[in-house]
Amino acid sequence: MKFRKPKLGLGVRLALISVLIILAILTIDGVSRVFVPEPDVILMEREWLADTIGDTQALLEGAQPEQRTKLLAGLPSRNILAFSLDDAPNVRWRHGASDSDTQVAALRDALRQRLRPDTEFIVAIKDFGGNFDYALTSIAVVTTKLPVRATSSTGTDNDTLLVTPNLDIHLQLADGTWLTVSQSSDDSVGLRLARNLAAPVFSILFILLISYWGAHRLLRPLQQLSVAAEKMGRERNVTLIPEMKIPEYKTIADSFNDMQLRLKRFVDDRTQMLAAISHDLGSPLTRLRLLAEELDDPRQRDQVLSDVAEMQMMIQSSLLFARDDAQQEGYVTVDIASLVISLCDNASDAGQVAIYRGADHASLRCRPTAIRRAVNNLIDNGCKYGGKVTVTLHDEADALVIAIADIGPGIAPGDIETAFKPFQRLESSRNRATGGTGLGLTIARDIVHGHGGSLTLRNNEGAPGLTATIRLPKPGP
């Protein structure tokens, strides 16, 4: 029994991508904790801190100024506290109103009891946000007694902790020099700063990569659907979408494939019916022609023969149109400029006036015979009804534009769309006396539309004549 791999729906895939993103963020955060050490937590008893600072003050005030630095380096508490001497206190922040006001006041009271009575001192702390993991420096924790049981990062069971990432105590010695006491710190501040910046950056990059990969995987079937729809509209060929793995997309693809097949079958049936009707009309018209030749009245005979000839021409055009549509010529890359130049040369050789202006070379993937027929129909119409045509080719970034301008009487604006209808010939100079079946513009526009382009007619501004413009889009990359 062959095991079939289950197909995951769109909702499940989106959920898996979300889980993958969460796991990636947790992994990056965990890896950063492994390689970057967490900050030290320095636990100090309040009385010990006050005694140590008081003893240090007495030691420094009893020594010569040049000996003070050496004395500070030899203090037994130098691994826990950092000491520095300055001419003025460098107060980076001052304690503000917070939940630790009681602990700060208690620390000030303890210092007053141990320092020289007239000592001026400043207790400066930075409020702590409660997250040890992202602190850059060591964490100072001052408590009333040891041992103590902490229930959170900012307090204990009786709220006797003062927790801060920056504890600075500035006091003035007798000679005016200021002593600054703070908790010691290790050499990993730069690493922690880099960790705090790199972790979110890598998380964002990883999220972007996963999101791009997920979007690409989810949108690729829609791109296939878009390409198939565009190809069907351009080439009128059925482009079946392969079976998709996502059930929701598979339903859409199957429906689209069925629609393509139904549309193709409908168009083929209509085309074959048109060809059959046109072919079957040939025999009755031949009999009418034979009967018309036996008429005694020359005027009636000529009129009937003219109508029969016109009907035969219309039938031949319909058969040609149906045959070309059924054959579906293949797409190849051709030089449109050379093709248009050759059509202008053929018109000139036939005694017509057709002038070409434009690029010498402009390649496009198309059905060359069909494009030749469409452009030739427009050149022939322009020469027939306008006397002279000027063909201009513009090679734009996304399309080739062919403009065929004549100097004839033009078309009334309200009749422009009517001119594209099958077997429609307008009055004035564009009437039955000039010949034609009324299928030239219809066939030309059908061919251009089959290439995904457009064919428009407009009267020339400020001058007599009509301009037919073909726009053929270039295939995407």
**CA 319 vs CA 143, 229, 395: distances in Å:** 103, 28, 34
Answer for the pair 180, 83: CB distance below 8 angstroms, yes or no: yes
Length of the chain: 477
- Residue 370 to residues 109, 113, 330, 472, Cα–Cα distance (Å): 100, 105, 10, 13
Instruction: Report pLDDT for 404.
Output: 92
| Number of other CB atoms surrounding residue 263 within 10 Å | 13
3-class DSSP assignment, residue 241: coil
- Helix (H) or strand (E) run with residue 41 in it: strand 41-45
- Alpha-carbon torsion, ordered 235, 223, 264, 401, to 10 deg: -20
The reported pLDDT for the residue numbered 87 is 87
**Strands ordered across the beta sheet of 121-125:** 81-86, 178-183, 167-172, 121-125
Neighbours of 208 (CB within 10 A): 10
Instruction: Evaluate the omega torsion of the peptide bond into residue 147 and state whether it is cis, within 30 degrees of 0.
Output: yes
For 301-331, the DSSP string reads HHHHHHHHHHHHHHHHHHHHHHHHHHH-PPP
Query: Using CA atoms, how far apart are residues 146 and 168, in angstroms rounded to an integer?
Result: 22
Distances 445 to 417, 448, 472 between C-alpha atoms, Å: 11, 5, 11
Q: How far apart are the first and last CA of the chain?
A: 44
Q: Environment class of residue 281 by beta-carbon count within 10 Å: exposed (0-12), middle (13-18) or buried (19+)? A: middle
Neighbours of 309 (CB within 10 A): 12
Q: What is the pLDDT along the chain (477 residues), one digit of tens a residue?
A: 454 555 666 677 777 778 877 887 778 777 777 777 777 788 888 999 999 999 999 999 888 888 998 999 889 888 889 899 998 888 866 554 344 577 888 888 999 999 998 899 988 887 665 566 666 777 788 888 777 665 544 444 445 677 877 888 999 998 999 999 988 877 666 777 777 777 778 778 877 887 787 777 777 877 878 777 777 766 666 778 777 777 777 888 888 888 888 887 877 777 777 677 766 777 787 787 787 787 778 888 888 787 777 777 777 766 666 665 555 677 889 999 999 999 999 999 888 889 999 888 899 988 888 899 899 989 988 888 888 899 999 999 889 999 999 988 888 887 888 787 776 666 444 444 455 556 778 888 888 888 888 999 998 887 888 999 999 998 765
Residue 99: what pLDDT? Answer: 43
Task: Name the nearest CA neighbour of 245 among 14, 15, 7, 13.
Answer: 7
In this prediction, residue 431 carries a pLDDT of 44
Per-residue pLDDT at 133: 64
Provide the pLDDT for residue 105.
Answer: 85
Q: Can you read off the two tokens belonging to residue 147?
A: 């041992």
d(CA 274, CA 268): 10
* φ, ψ (nearest 5 deg) of residue 323: -65, -45
Listed residue (49, 179, 195, 64) closest to 121, CA to CA? 179
